[in-house]
């Protein structure tokens, strides 16, 4: 099989840089707009002070909105990146042959991990008080008016040093395993032989165990603790499924775009069919987890649990209601109806439409997880949202395409390459 | 022995039923079989069907069999199941015997979803299996027409229908043998 090297034109990489720049500009414009509009709404300091004294909350300003958006995109993009690594590992331990043509795409997705980890750390260190209620020190002082016995009970786990250690360990472990697997993959390209493949299987098996723990705990840490008092035993899986569908959609889109640009000659509609099945199946899986979480809380109706859905379905004058229904439509009804038939899963145009919709749908899903806890009723869709999304997309695409171009798109010495060429479903 | 029994039965019920005659080509190798299928179809002969001990990859395309429409039927069964489940629950819990459960409304859709899902799956699964068995003629019956019992062991049997006065049996015989058939037999089946 012949090597295929992706060449990124200057124009394309400039376009990604332009996305980052435009994102920054839009963010700044958005900040000024939000600053002025909160000035109008606030009605002076008296009201804000009264509100703060009453609820123990601080007023929502552009700072909160900016950091919430940065955090939302951090979590969303680092999730897609780690899914690349996770799915590669799954292919190894499953001895999968069909996925050989998309292997390099999966590997390249995780290129964002180091930069994503740094962004995550920086945004947390600067914006922790805007994002996480539990970072308020006064909550843990017994005589303070803010003393919170529930959060004080969680302090052994939920304290800043341990949180930071966990964050570094999780992302560090992902980066390490990514580097280790990639080393085998490139070694296989250069030298051939089965040794690299067998070693990759062993590394993948260890990683999957590590990922089982780290993905769950990162979901609690990064997303669930925003609503510090609330907890759900299903939450980690729910976040994982959202990441997984988004990652699969990103992989499928990349495969289609590479194919349309004349690359990936081994890839045909049979491989796309399989990717389509994954997007279809895991969209249903996401819905299953969403509903499993929702129904038990709805049925039991315990105040400490149901408050999460109260906030989202009825809270803040129905501010988030449409989003809750929109995510169910975009992430469930849309993919299930459009990708149900075999023909749809084998057509690039249908897959493209569904993948874009699902990518946006899961971004909206994270929006719904992050915003009510940080911005309460003050969230919106404006220049800040668009700007941060563009900013992160630009960074992600830059490192992603660079890693894609750094090795042959077809793993030339993969033992299952021949099987992948003849893959037929 | 088996053949004789069959013909005996045939003669007794011949008056009411029509008989069909088939030429059976017996093949030993699946690659030879696949090439034979292509050549025989190219020669203009219509193949009734091929019996195989296991699924042969690519045989559907070689035989020119269209994709099954079973998925469409499955979708409709699923819709039926969903509609039935929703109707049943809404009628029972909303109108026939309303009860207050956990302070929820009588017609509480989230509570109905698990049952609706299960019934959708049940209707789809059973509907598909039953439809498949009927279409393939695999429903339980007293007499199972087996063209050649060896097709359940290690031989591939290609059946070609003989039309009286149209099919040249000798020519068919040479065609099958030239394409790798190790045996060519004749078989009459009562329909």
- Stated as kind and residue range, the H or E segment containing B162 is strand B156-162
Q: Which residues in chain B are contacts of A423 at CB distance < 8 A?
A: none
B69: closest CA of chain A, how far (Å): 11
Shortest CA distance to B170 belongs to which of B184, B158, B181?
Answer: B184
How confident is the model at residue A71, as a pLDDT? 96
Contact of A249 with A272, CB cutoff 8 Å: no
Tokens of B174: 């040479």
How confident is the model at residue B191, as a pLDDT? 63
Confidence category of residue A3, pLDDT binned at 50, 70, 90: confident
Asked if B103 lies within 8 A of A341 by C-beta distance, the reply is: no
Contact of A28 with A66, CB cutoff 8 Å: no
- The dihedral built from the CA positions of residue A168, A174, A177 and A182, taken in this order, carries a sign that is negative
Backbone angles phi, psi at B51, to 5 degrees: -100, 130
Tokens of A352: 């493209």
Residue A302 CA to residue A296 CA, distance in Å, equals 10
Residue A44 CA to residue A37 CA, distance in Å, equals 12
Span A373-390, average pLDDT: 91
Confidence category of residue A38, pLDDT binned at 50, 70, 90: low
- Residue A56 reports pLDDT greater than 60: no
Asked if B111 lies within 8 A of A424 by C-beta distance, the reply is: no
Backbone angles phi, psi at B23, to 5 degrees: -100, 130
Residue A336 CA to residue A344 CA, distance in Å, equals 11
Backbone angles phi, psi at A193, to 5 degrees: 95, 160
- Residue A316 reports pLDDT greater than 90: no
How confident is the model at residue A46, as a pLDDT? 43
- What angle (nearest 5°) sits at the alpha carbon of residue A353, between those of residues A349 and A359? 140
Q: Which residues in chain A are contacts of B114 at CB distance < 8 A?
A: 295
Asked if B110 lies within 8 A of A294 by C-beta distance, the reply is: yes
Residues of A with CB under 8 A from a CB of B: 291, 294-295, 298-299, 301, 340-342, 424
Which residue among B58, B103, B110 sits closest to A295, beta carbon to beta carbon?
Answer: B110
Contact of B21 with B187, CB cutoff 8 Å: yes
Asked if A341 lies within 8 A of B71 by C-beta distance, the reply is: yes
**What is the tens place of the pLDDT at every residue in A204-242?**
999 999 999 999 999 999 999 999 999 999 999 999 999
Q: Which residues in chain A are contacts of B110 at CB distance < 8 A?
A: 291, 294-295, 298-299
Q: Which residues in chain A are contacts of B103 at CB distance < 8 A?
A: 301
Q: Which residues in chain A are contacts of B60 at CB distance < 8 A?
A: none
**What is the tens place of the pLDDT at every residue in A255-282?**
999 999 999 999 999 999 999 999 999 9
Tokens of B167: 């099919």
Asked if B110 lies within 8 A of A301 by C-beta distance, the reply is: no
User: Mean pLDDT of all residues in chain A?
Assistant: 91
Which residue of B62, B68, B77, B110 to mutate against A (max A Cβ within 10 Å)? B110
How confident is the model at residue A44, as a pLDDT? 43
The number of C-alpha atoms within 13 Å of B155 and in the hemisphere containing its C-beta is: 17
How confident is the model at residue B168, as a pLDDT? 83
How confident is the model at residue A378, as a pLDDT? 85
| Closest chain A residue to the Cα of B108, Cα to Cα | A299
What SS3 state is found at B21?
strand
Contact of B30 with B56, CB cutoff 8 Å: yes
B30: closest CA of chain A, how far (Å): 18
B183: closest CA of chain A, how far (Å): 32
Residue B7 CA to residue A242 CA, distance in Å, equals 65
Tokens of A213: 């723990």
Span A66-81, average pLDDT: 96
Convert chain A into a string of H (helix), E (strand) and C (coil).
Answer: CCCCECCCCHHHHHHHHHHHHHHHHHHHHHHHHHHHHHHHHHCHHHHHHHHHHHHCCCCCCHHHHHHHHHHHHHHHHHHHHHHHHHHHHHHHHCCCCCCHHHHHHHHHHHHHHHHHHHHHHHHHHHHHHHHCHHHCHHHHCCCCCCCCHHHHHCCCCCCHHHHHHHHHHHHHHHHHHHHHHHHHHHHHHHHCCCHHHHHHHHHHHHHHHHHHHHHHHHHHHHCHHHCCCCCCCCHHHHHHHHHHHHHHHHHHHHHHHHHHCCCCCCCCHHHHHHHHHHHHHHHHHHHHHHHHHHHHHHHHCCHHHHHHHHHHHCHHHHCCHHHHHHHHHHHHHHHHHHCCCHHHHCCHHHHHHHHHHHHHHHHHHHHHHHHHHHCHHHCCCCHHHHHHHHHHHHHHHHHHHHHHHCCECCCCCCCCHHHHHCCCC
Residue A258 CA to residue A393 CA, distance in Å, equals 18
What residue has token string 């171009």? A405
Backbone angles phi, psi at A62, to 5 degrees: -60, -25
How confident is the model at residue A43, as a pLDDT? 42
Residue A309 CA to residue A30 CA, distance in Å, equals 29
Which residue among B57, B67, B102 sits closest to A299, beta carbon to beta carbon?
Answer: B102
Residue A357 CA to residue A360 CA, distance in Å, equals 5
Residue A329 CA to residue A276 CA, distance in Å, equals 18
Dihedral angle over CA of A289, A96, A270, A336, nearest 10: 0
What SS3 state is found at B45?
coil
Distance of CA A25 to the CA centre of its chain: 24
Q: List the domains of chain B with CATH numbers.
A: 2-67+144-190 (3.30.70), 70-135 (no CATH)
- Stated as kind and residue range, the H or E segment containing B117 is helix B109-135
**What is the tens place of the pLDDT at every residue in A124-173?**
999 999 999 999 988 998 888 889 999 999 999 999 999 999 999 999 99
pLDDT string in tens for chain B (191-residue length): 444 444 444 444 444 456 788 899 999 998 999 999 999 999 888 898 899 999 998 888 889 888 889 999 999 999 999 999 999 999 999 999 998 888 899 999 999 999 999 999 999 999 999 999 998 888 888 777 788 889 889 999 999 988 887 888 888 888 899 988 998 988 888 76
A331: closest CA of chain B, how far (Å): 17
Which residue among A291, A340, A424 sits closest to B113, beta carbon to beta carbon?
Answer: A291
A296: closest CA of chain B, how far (Å): 9
Which residue among B57, B71, B110 sits closest to A298, beta carbon to beta carbon?
Answer: B110
A vs B, Cβ pairs < 8 A, gives 20
| Closest chain A residue to the Cα of B67, Cα to Cα | A342
Span A90-118, average pLDDT: 95
- Residue A28 reports pLDDT greater than 70: yes
| Closest chain B residue to the Cα of A293, Cα to Cα | B110
How confident is the model at residue B45, as a pLDDT? 86
Asked if B110 lies within 8 A of A424 by C-beta distance, the reply is: no
Contact of A294 with A236, CB cutoff 8 Å: no
């Amino acid at each position: 099989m012949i090597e295929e090297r992706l060449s990124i034109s200057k124009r394309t990489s400039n376009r990604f840089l332009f996305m980052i720049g435009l994102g920054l500009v839009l963010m700044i414009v958005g900040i000024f707009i939000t600053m002025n509009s909160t000035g109008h709404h606030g009605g002076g300091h008296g009201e804000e002070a009264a509100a703060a004294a009453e609820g123990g909350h601080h007023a929502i300003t552009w700072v909160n909105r900016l950091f919430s958006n940065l955090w939302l995109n951090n979590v969303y993009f680092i999730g897609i990146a780690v899914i690349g690594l996770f799915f590669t590992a799954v292919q190894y331990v499953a001895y999968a042959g069909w996925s050989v043509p998309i292997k390099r795409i999966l590997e390249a997705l995780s290129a964002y991990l180091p930069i994503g980890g740094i962004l995550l750390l920086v945004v947390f260190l600067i914006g922790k008080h805007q994002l996480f209620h539990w970072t308020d020190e006064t909550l843990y002082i017994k005589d303070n008016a803010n003393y919170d016995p529930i959060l004080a009970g969680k302090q052994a786990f939920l304290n800043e040093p341990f949180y930071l250690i966990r964050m570094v360990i999780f992302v560090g472990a992902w980066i390490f395993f990514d580097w280790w697997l990639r080393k085998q993959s490139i070694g296989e390209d250069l030298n051939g032989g089965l040794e690299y493949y067998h070693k990759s299987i062993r590394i993948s098996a260890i990683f999957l165990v590590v990922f089982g723990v780290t993905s769950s705990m990162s979901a609690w840490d990064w997303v669930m603790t925003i609503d510090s008092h609330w907890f759900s035993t299903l939450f980690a899986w729910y976040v994982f499924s959202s990441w997984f569908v988004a990652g699969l959609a990103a992989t499928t889109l990349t495969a289609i775009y590479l194919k349309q640009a004349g690359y990936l000659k081994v890839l045909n509609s049979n491989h796309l069919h399989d990717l389509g099945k994954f997007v279809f199946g895991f969209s249903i899986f996401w819905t299953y987890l969403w509903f499993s979480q929702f129904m038990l809380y709805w049925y039991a109706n315990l105040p400490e649990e149901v408050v999460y859905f109260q906030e989202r379905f009825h809270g803040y004058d129905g501010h988030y209601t449409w989003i809750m229904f929109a995510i169910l439509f975009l992430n469930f009804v849309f993919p299930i109806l459009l990708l149900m038939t075999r023909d749809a899963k084998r057509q690039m145009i249908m897959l493209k439409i569904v993948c874009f919709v699902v990518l946006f749908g899961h971004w909206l899903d994270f929006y719904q997880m992050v915003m009510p806890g940080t911005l309460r009723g003050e969230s919106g869709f404006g220049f800040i949202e668009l700007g941060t999304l563009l900013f992160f997309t630009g960074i992600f695409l830059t490192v992603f395409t660079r890693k894609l171009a750094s090795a042959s798109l077809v793993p030339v010495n993969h033992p299952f390459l021949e099987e992948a060429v003849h893959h037929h479903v | 022995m088996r053949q004789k029994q069959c013909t005996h039965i045939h003669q007794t019920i011949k008056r009411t039923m029509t008989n069909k005659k088939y030429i059976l080509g017996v093949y030993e190798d699946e690659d030879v079989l696949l090439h034979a299928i292509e050549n025989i179809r190219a020669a203009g002969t219509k193949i009734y069907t091929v019996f195989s001990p296991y699924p042969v990859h690519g045989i559907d395309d070689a035989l020119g069999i269209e994709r099954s429409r079973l998925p469409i039927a499955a979708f409709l069964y699923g819709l039926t199941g969903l509609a039935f489940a929703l109707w049943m629950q809404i009628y029972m819990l909303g109108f026939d015997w309303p009860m207050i459960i956990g302070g929820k409304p009588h017609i509480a859709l989230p509570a109905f979803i698990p049952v609706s899902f299960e019934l959708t799956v049940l209707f789809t699964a059973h509907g598909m299996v039953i439809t498949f068995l009927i279409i393939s003629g695999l429903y339980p019956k007293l007499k199972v027409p087996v063209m050649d019992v060896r097709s359940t062991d290690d031989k591939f049997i290609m059946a070609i229908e003989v039309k009286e006065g149209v099919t040249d049996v000798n020519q068919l015989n040479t065609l099958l043998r030239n394409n790798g058939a190790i045996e060519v037999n004749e078989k009459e089946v009562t329909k």
